[in-house]
């Protein structure tokens, strides 16, 4: 008779040992996946909290007297909840990206400003220069400026001077407004050039 018990016992021990090794490997992988998932979720939730609480306060010593953190009930338009500005005392309280408002002179009825008839509260500001153009979109409270000259450094200085005069704000206040500056390719301005106002 052949001693099957010894061989069978040996085979069972090998299988049991291999199963234990496989279980340890599978358990290790599962623990690693749990740790990675936990880290990913915790980092992601902290980013969400940071983004949600990203409330940049304007320096009080620079422009506090010209900021309206509480939206004024003195609103000219019925669509005030949708606009990027409110009107109070012949001034525009223009929303910025921090949820605050910068008080600026109401330029909308100036002789060099033309309202876009097809878009409510959209205005083309027409400076006496052909080096830049400026549009104001009331729904977002954003100014869109386009540099139209290869000498973009001078055009940015001219744009800043024009906006300071038109809006009657300080350079610091101007920097807190939402101003997008672009340039068409044909100006020859190198791609990737950062176009910002000199004081900002």
Q: Where exactly are the structural domains of the chain?
A: 1-53, 61-187
Question: Within 10 Å of residue 127's Cβ, how many Cβ atoms?
Answer: 17
* pLDDT for the residue numbered 120: 83
Question: Tokens 């939730």 correspond to what residue?
Answer: 45
Report the distance separating Cα 182 and Cα 18, nearest Å.
66
* pLDDT for the residue numbered 13: 56
Residue of higher predicted confidence among 21 and 72: 21
Residue of higher predicted confidence among 66 and 113: 113
The answer to whether 160 and 124 are in contact (CB under 8 A) is no
User: What is the mean predicted confidence (pLDDT) over 134-141?
Assistant: 91
* pLDDT for the residue numbered 87: 87
Q: Identify the band that residue 117 occupies on the pLDDT scale cut at 50, 70 and 90.
A: confident
Model pTM greater than 0.75? Answer: no
* pLDDT for the residue numbered 99: 80
* pLDDT for the residue numbered 86: 86
4 pLDDT exceeds 60? no
By percentage, how much of the chain surpasses pLDDT 70?
62
The answer to whether 125 and 112 are in contact (CB under 8 A) is yes
163 pLDDT exceeds 90? yes
């Amino acid at each position: 008779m052949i001693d099957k018990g010894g061989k069978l016992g040996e085979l069972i021990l090998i299988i049991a040992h291999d199963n234990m090794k496989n279980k340890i490997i599978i358990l290790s992988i599962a623990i690693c996946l749990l740790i990675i998932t936990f880290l990913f979720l915790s980092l992601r939730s902290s980013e969400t909290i940071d983004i949600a609480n990203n409330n940049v306060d304007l320096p009080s010593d620079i422009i506090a007297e010209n900021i309206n953190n509480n939206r004024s009930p003195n609103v000219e338009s019925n669509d005030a909840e949708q606009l990027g500005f409110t009107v109070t005392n012949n001034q525009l309280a223009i929303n910025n990206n921090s949820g605050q408002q910068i008080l600026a002179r109401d330029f909308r009825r100036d002789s060099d400003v033309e309202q876009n008839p097809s878009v409510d509260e959209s205005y083309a500001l027409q400076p006496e220069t052909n080096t830049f153009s400026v549009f104001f979109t009331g729904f977002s409270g954003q100014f869109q400026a386009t540099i139209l000259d290869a000498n973009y450094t001078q055009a940015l200085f001219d744009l800043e001077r024009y906006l300071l005069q038109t809006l009657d704000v300080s350079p610091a206040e101007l920097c807190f407004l939402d101003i997008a500056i672009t340039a068409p390719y044909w100006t020859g301005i190198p791609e990737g050039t950062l176009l910002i106002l000199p004081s900002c």
